[in-house]
Amino acid sequence: MDTISLKAYALIVEEGSFSAAARQLGISKSMCSKYISDLEDKLGARLLTRSTRSVKTTSIGMEYYQKVRRILDLLDEANEQAKVESGTVTGRLRIGSPVSFSLRALQPLILRFLKQHPNVQLESVFDDSRTNLISKGYDAVLCIGELADSSMVARRIHTTTCAIVASPGYLETYGTPRHPSDLSNHKILHYTNISTATTWPFQSENEIFWQKVTPRFASNNGEIIAAAAMADYGVAYLAEFMISDHLATGKLVPILAEYTHPDLPISIIYPSRKNISAALKAFLEFCTCNESQSAKVTHGNGATTPLRTGQETGLLAQQVPSSGKTDRVGKVSNAGWTGRLPPGQRAGMDTRRRTVGPSKHG
């Protein structure tokens, strides 16, 4: 019995339709239907009940599917292991990543990966949304900012610093904030990928506090937030790699510079599967092993600025332990610690934390 019939059957059960299964297999719907008919004839049993609106398994069909799925998973695992051990990495790989980070920092990493693994069919998708990566068909997604708890596995690969900025024109019209609480009187441009909550973090000595803000404009794309800031529309909190060129030219200026901000994590997340493909495993190892070379931002003048790697910033929430094992989003397991740190906070730092409301600073 050939595996294509078994794969077609499993996909029909999982996708709920012949059409969806056929698309994934790259065959016609009629061919997919023939595979199932031939399979049922060989077994002498009906596996599926079909109607114009749905496809459902029979009781025999469901039990058969569960066993077939286990067989296919074992087969995939064996195939991938053989590829890894042979040193030949092949297969398709679909990676999602934010637009700004892709253009400014990820591009050289992708090109080196393609050179090192010529048999991998890589698709790099620029995507600023934070959606279910499985529903979009991603094998993994690179994210900037805080990660919500989920069933996904996360690996921190870099961190970057942040700054609060505005244009000289805006500051001339509305004045310069002198204290974080002054932001309640200013027009706020909020980059939602840094934090979905409408609070901005400030660090003074060993204490981190969070200032509530009311966005005039919010977006999951850092480029449009930076453009709005340069057009005198408000105050923005952004990763420095997004705005370094604009700071250098004076189109944006830093404000509240006497306060620092927690480093912003850059992580790669992927489904929690026992059997990840050889291509994805190679990409994860490549990102980790090439931190020092790949963590650079390319500016408009051709100059480069390094991002910070996980090893350089100490123990951080969501960081990969030295053992190389990945942790669930928001968890750290090395050194026997299983709690949570405030976003970006280092081990050993004062854990006091408070949120400041939009009161005026006297």
Max mean pLDDT among 15-19, 81-85, 252-256 falls in: 252-256
Q: Is residue 32 in some structural domain?
A: yes
Q: What is the pLDDT of residue 296?
A: 46
- Report the residue count for the chain: 362
The residue among 38, 57, 86 that closes a domain is 86
Do 81 and 153 share a domain, yes or no? Answer: no
Q: What is the pLDDT of residue 238?
A: 93
DSSP H stretches of helix in the chain: 3-15, 18-25, 29-43, 59-86, 99-101, 107-116, 168-174, 222-230, 240-249, 278-289, 291-294
What number of CA atoms fall less than 13 Å from residue 170's CA on the CB side? Answer: 25
> Between these two residues, 116 and 51, which has the higher pLDDT value?
116
Domain boundary among 214, 244, 262: 262
Q: Specify the amino acid at residue 37.
A: S
Same domain flag for 156 and 169? no
Residue identified by tokens 């253009």 is 103
Q: Would you say residue 102 lies in a domain? A: yes
The reply to whether 355 falls in a domain is no
Residue 233 · residue 189 · CB < 8 Å? yes
Phi and psi at 102, nearest 5°, equal -60, -45
pLDDT of residue 359 exceeding 50, the answer is no
* β-pair partners for 154: 269, 327
Higher pLDDT, 196 or 47: 47
Q: What mean pLDDT comes out for the span 270-288?
A: 79
* Pair (307, 321) in one structural domain: yes
Q: What is the rounded CA–CA span in Å between residue 249 and residue 239?
A: 17
Do 21 and 53 fall within a single domain? yes
Q: Are residues 11 and 124 in the same domain?
A: no
CATH at residue 97: 3.40.190.10
pLDDT at 83: 67
For residue 168, the model assigns a pLDDT of 97
pLDDT per position as a tens digit, 5-21: 999 999 999 888 898 88
Q: Residue 299 belongs to what domain range? A: 91-160+264-331
* Edge-to-edge strands, sheet with 199-204: 199-204, 207-212, 353-356
Residue of higher predicted confidence among 71 and 87: 71
Please give the tally of structural domains in the chain: 3
pLDDT at 206 over 50: yes
- The pLDDT assigned to 319 comes to 30
Based on the fold, state whether residues 172 and 245 are members of the same structural domain: yes
81 Cβ neighbours under 8 A, 6+ residues apart: none
> In CATH, what number is assigned to the domain containing residue 53?
1.10.10.10
Average pLDDT along the chain = 76
Distance, in Å, from the CA atom of 82 to the CA atom of 217, rounded to the nearest integer, reads 51
Residues 178 and 321 in one domain: no
| Rounded Cα gap, residues 103 and 265, in angstroms | 18
The answer to whether position 345 is within a domain reads: no
Confidence of residue 318 (pLDDT cuts 50, 70, 90): very low
Q: Are residues 9 and 122 in the same domain?
A: no
Per-residue model confidence (pLDDT) at position 269: 87
Which residue is it, tokens 């990409």?
283
CA–CA distance, 206 with 204 (Å, rounded to integer): 6
Mean pLDDT computed over 183-201: 87
Question: For residue 75, what pLDDT is reported?
Answer: 86
